């Protein structure tokens, strides 16, 4: 994990939940953590880290993740045993 990915991890775990974080940065972080990526129909995508599966919908047409998506990413990372 490089410094940009560490920064993304810190942002995901920051309080309050940030209002602007590009979804692509979250995906890059998941991949850097060794996630398997499973593309679904349309905007659906799933990630598997440490045998934990997280299901998400990519935001569209915006590129910014919504607060609930960032919260879901945080919950997924916690279930997978990832902390900042």
Q: Is 12 helix (H, G, I), strand (E, B) or coil?
A: helix
The pTM for the full model equals: 0.93
Q: Distance between CA 52 and CA 76 in Å, rounded?
A: 8
Rg of the chain over all Cα atoms, to the nearest angstrom: 12
Q: Distance between CA 42 and CA 21 in Å, rounded?
A: 21
36 and 47 Cβ atoms separated by less than 8 Å:
yes
pLDDT in tens, 27-61: 999 999 999 999 999 999 999 999 999 999 999 88
């Amino acid at each position: 994990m490089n410094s940009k990915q560490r920064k993304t991890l810190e942002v995901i775990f920051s309080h309050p939940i940030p209002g602007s974080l590009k979804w692509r940065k979250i995906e890059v972080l998941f991949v850097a953590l060794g996630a398997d990526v499973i593309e679904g129909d349309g905007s659906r995508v799933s990630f598997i880290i440490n045998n934990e599966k997280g299901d998400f919908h990519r935001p569209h047409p915006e590129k910014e993740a919504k607060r609930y998506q960032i919260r879901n990413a945080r919950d997924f990372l916690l279930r997978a045993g990832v902390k900042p």
